[in-house]
Amino acid sequence: MSEDCEIHAANRSGVGVGGDRVRWHAADLRDPSSAQALVAVVRPTHVLHLAWEATPRVYNQSPENFRWLHASIAMALTFGELGGHRFLGVGSSGEYDANGAPCAEDVTPIRPSSIYGKCKAACWLGVTAAAQYHRFSAAWGRVFLPYGPGDPAGRLVPSVMMALQEGRPVEVTHGKQLRDFIYAPDAAHLLVKLLFSLETGAFNIGTGHATTIRSVIEYLASRHGGRSELRFGAIDPPPGEPPVLVADMTKTTETLGSLALTSATDGLDRLLAPRRSAPTGANPTLGSSE
């Protein structure tokens, strides 16, 4: 289990969190030779591969996705060649052709609309092929809408929080989109459980709860108590954006056991806590419809 294992982690700087528990390596994982060299040095039994282009507003159509696709499959092949046991890659709800119903891993069609979604779906096929060739165990976590500590500034929650704090108007889309917000530490917890499970295949990393983007923004505004104007509809949503993107969590729950996941209000409150000493008044709740 994860408590006993030696943990190696990599990013471009070779510096990161975790203290003595984690040995950091500097590697540019977009570069197949760098990714392969890292695997050859560490010789991991298990890999949790999270790295990918994720710059807000850019990642969906970025050509960096092609580099990640190739380098990730190359890394999985080297991992298998060197005798690795278990590879967990991270995919996206953007792989699904969401039709309004909750997305089920082996039922909802994989028909991604973005370059990001297409490269993620192609990567999973490539990883399963590598697993078949080298006979290692492979799984894939399709993450829904993560939010939480460490979010880059351009993402929804921090950008709204920043506007509220600065008293600027909050300019957003209509906000009626139903999304499956998952508190990032919960997503991390599910991914680690999945890494140490024996089940192969794709698994949703979400909560199963549908929340409107509007209600998240309104909640943040209500907790902040400032006077920022909420301008819903000021921005057009990206073309082809699905109205509903929510996980069916049946398969993940059956595989990983019951999941004590943080509610959206609790998760947002934790993000607000460093800024506000204590919440005031009664807690509003988040609605899944208008």
Which residues in this chain contact its own copies in the complex, by CB under 8 A?
A: 61, 63, 65-66, 69-70, 73-74, 77, 109-110, 112, 114-115, 118-119, 121-123, 125-126, 128-130, 132-133
Count of CB atoms situated within 10 Å of the CB of 105: 20
Q: Which is nearer to its own copies, 115 or 178 (CB)?
A: 115
Contact between residue 36 and residue 70 where contact means Cβ atoms under 8 Å apart = no
Tokens read off for 100: 């309004």
Q: Which is nearer to its own copies, 101 or 125 (CB)?
A: 125
Q: Which is nearer to its own copies, 47 or 110 (CB)?
A: 110
Q: Are strands 178-179 and 211-212 parallel, antiparallel or unpaired?
A: antiparallel
Q: Which is nearer to its own copies, 32 or 148 (CB)?
A: 32
The DSSP call for residue 8 is E
Of 144, 117, 98, 95, nearest in space to 244 by CA: 98
Q: Which is nearer to its own copies, 135 or 227 (CB)?
A: 135
Q: Which is nearer to its own copies, 24 or 66 (CB)?
A: 66
Q: What is the DSSP string of 142-169?
A: EE-EEESTT--TTSHHHHHHHHHHHT--
Strand partners, 201: 139
Give least dist CB 66 to its own copies, A. Answer: 6
Give least dist CB 26 to its own copies, A. Answer: 25
Give least dist CB 178 to its own copies, A. Answer: 25
Let me know if 166 is exposed, middle or buried by CB neighbors in 10 A (0-12, 13-18, 19+): exposed
Give least dist CB 36 to its own copies, A. Answer: 13
Give least dist CB 127 to its own copies, A. Answer: 9
Count of CB atoms situated within 10 Å of the CB of 280: 8
End-to-end distance of the chain based on CA atoms, in angstroms? 43
Q: Which is nearer to its own copies, 132 or 283 (CB)?
A: 132
Q: Return d(Cα 203, Cα 187) in angstroms, integer.
A: 12
Give least dist CB 115 to its own copies, A. Answer: 5
Give least dist CB 60 to its own copies, A. Answer: 10
